[in-house]
């Protein structure tokens, strides 16, 4: 093995992710950053030098790294979830080496750190109604913002998926195809209320931009820039503004509306598998985070059968 063999293999692995696995550039950049950190730490030259001992000392090192934030003047170390991102990248690299029959540490030797069960931020149905009603003007900016909120709740789209939508949306069908994580395409459905708000907004548009949701100048006119497409950060600011206007003290983000979409379906009787497909989750375990807040069946069982002897 030459001195730069590991760097060469890392580059080939990243190319494999892009070409054969179809991962997006952001994911590839993250893998590059995580793997570079490992290689800098390990200071080794060949794959066979990746050993259990190297892995153990790397995990200790990761666990002691500062995250860049502090609480009460005390610097915080990297969260277990963040440490797992580094380990997942390394494990993916080792799987690639094994696939090519290059001798190294078996990927199954990497166990991820245990993390606390994920919780979700939710708002009540009453708060959601106030949020959706907050853009109450007839100007184009209010119409645009109302359409954004209604479409997010109707479809459960991720904010990046919402921003990528084109203006030539066919509202007559009541559904649209979106390309989500992992370049996977799924169908989402548009409610009558969402269709109406989008149509009203588009009827008032005078520009020729292909994007469905565009930036507007403070005066409400179309902004004079090369690309008018709204960014995820812009959507986040818009939702924050209307949450404040609606008197909601909790932090409200596009993902909170996605949570509301999922919990609304489950509370009204939808099965978990269907919700998984509508959300575009590749693994149903990701969707299962919603069950503890929506399982009315278990609540009714407890109410009807618990402690009947008293």
> 């990046």: which residue's tokens?
160
CB atoms within 10 A of CB 2: 9
Q: How far apart are CA 255 and CA 119, in angstroms?
A: 13
Instruction: Note whether 150 and 191 are within 8 A (CB).
Output: yes
Q: Which of 91, 158, 195, 259 is catalytic?
A: 158
For residue 55, what are its two tokens? 């892995």
In 3D space, the residue among 200, 207, 249, 256 whose CA is nearest the CA of residue 228 turns out to be 207
CA angle 282, 288, 290 (to 5 degrees): 120
Rg (CA), the chain: 24
Q: Give the DSSP H/E element, type plus range, for residue 60.
A: helix 52-63
Distance of CA 231 to the CA centre of its chain: 15
229 catalytic? Reply is no
Q: Which of 23, 144, 258, 259 is catalytic?
A: 258
91 catalytic? Reply is no
255 catalytic? Reply is yes
290 catalytic? Reply is yes
Q: Which of 181, 186, 206, 292 is catalytic?
A: 181
Distance of CA 122 to the CA centre of its chain: 16
Q: Annotated active-site positions, please?
A: 158, 181, 255, 258, 281, 290
């Amino acid at each position: 093995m030459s001195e730069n063999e590991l760097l060469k293999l890392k580059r080939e692995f990243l190319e494999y992710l892009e070409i054969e696995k179809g991962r997006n550039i952001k994911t590839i950049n993250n893998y590059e950053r995580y793997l570079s950190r490992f290689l800098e730490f390990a200071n080794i030259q060949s794959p066979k030098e990746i050993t259990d001992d190297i892995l153990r000392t790397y995990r200790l090192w990761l666990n002691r790294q500062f995250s860049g934030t502090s609480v009460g003047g005390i610097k915080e170390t990297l969260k277990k979830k963040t440490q797992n991102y580094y380990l997942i990248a390394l494990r993916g690299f080792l799987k690639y080496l094994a696939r090519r029959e290059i001798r190294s540490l078996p990927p199954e030797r990497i166990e991820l750190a245990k993390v606390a069960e994920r919780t979700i931020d939710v708002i009540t149905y009453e708060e959601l109604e106030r949020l959706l009603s907050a853009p109450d003007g007839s100007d184009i900016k209010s119409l645009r913002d109302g359409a954004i909120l209604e479409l997010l709740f109707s479809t459960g789209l991720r904010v990046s998926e919402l921003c990528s939508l084109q203006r030539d949306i066919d509202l007559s069908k009541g559904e649209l195809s979106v390309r989500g994580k992992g370049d996977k395409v799924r169908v989402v459905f548009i409610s009558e209320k969402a269709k109406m708000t989008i149509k009203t907004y588009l009827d008032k548009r005078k520009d020729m931009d292909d994007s469905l949701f565009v930036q507007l100048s403070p005066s409400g006119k179309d902004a004079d820039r090369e690309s008018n497409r709204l960014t995820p950060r812009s959507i986040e600011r818009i939702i924050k503004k209307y949450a404040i206007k609606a008197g909601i003290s909790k932090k409200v983000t596009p993902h909170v509306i996605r949570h509301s979409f999922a919990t609304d379906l489950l509370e009204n009787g939808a099965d978990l598998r269907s919700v998984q497909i509508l959300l575009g989750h590749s693994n149903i375990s990701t969707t299962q985070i919603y069950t503890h807040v929506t399982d009315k069946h278990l609540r009714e069982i407890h109410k009807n059968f618990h402690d009947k002897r008293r």
